[in-house]
Amino acid sequence: LSKDVGFFAIQMLETSFQFLPEVADTERPKYYTPKNPYPTPSYYPQLPPPALFETSATFEKFDIDTLFFIFYYQQGTYQQYLAARELKKQSWRFHKKYLTWFQRHEEPKAITDDYEQGTYIYFDYEGAWCQRKKTDFRFEYKFLE
């Protein structure tokens, strides 16, 4: 193993150290499964109603906050896909760089082939979980999902 292999090993070991495994990486979260579930009366539905959350009609009824909740906390699921579709229908646009949704607050001041610029509302999912206003924002289309 020549010297530069040593350098490669050191560099890649740093990379591996950067992503040091944590508990959540190998342990599946233990969901509570009742040992002896209380028998609910038969007139209650025993299973979630089939496909209720599989149709976009259901998602039209959800308010915007619920749609954002499903989008950010049911990631990788079909429901996320339906929520995203509903948000788009309501004129929200996903920004791939900021990983959040923007909606025009008014007609943009400038629209070119590469971007549009103006005042927008965007959803702050990291901070206060609310909608915020952003003036003079340039939405580059290369970031439009």
Kind of pairing, strands 130-140 and 115-124? Answer: antiparallel
**Cβ 118 vs Cβ 144: under 8 Å:** no
Binding segment toward other proteins, per CB under 8 A, in 21-29, 86-94, 104-112, 132-140: 21-29
Whole-angstrom CA distances from 141 to 92, 110, 113, 117, 145 are: 14, 13, 8, 11, 8
x/- binding map, residues 105-144, to other proteins, per CB under 8 A? --------------------x-------------------
**Cβ 134 vs Cβ 118: under 8 Å:** no
The Cβ of residue 144 has, within 10 Å, a number of other Cβ atoms equal to 13
Q: Which of 60, 65, 73, 144 binds other proteins (CB under 8 A)?
A: 73
Does 25 bind other proteins (CB under 8 A)? Our answer is: yes
Binding footprint of other proteins on the chain (CB under 8 A):
1-3, 5-6, 8-17, 19-30, 32, 34, 47-48, 50, 72-78, 99, 125
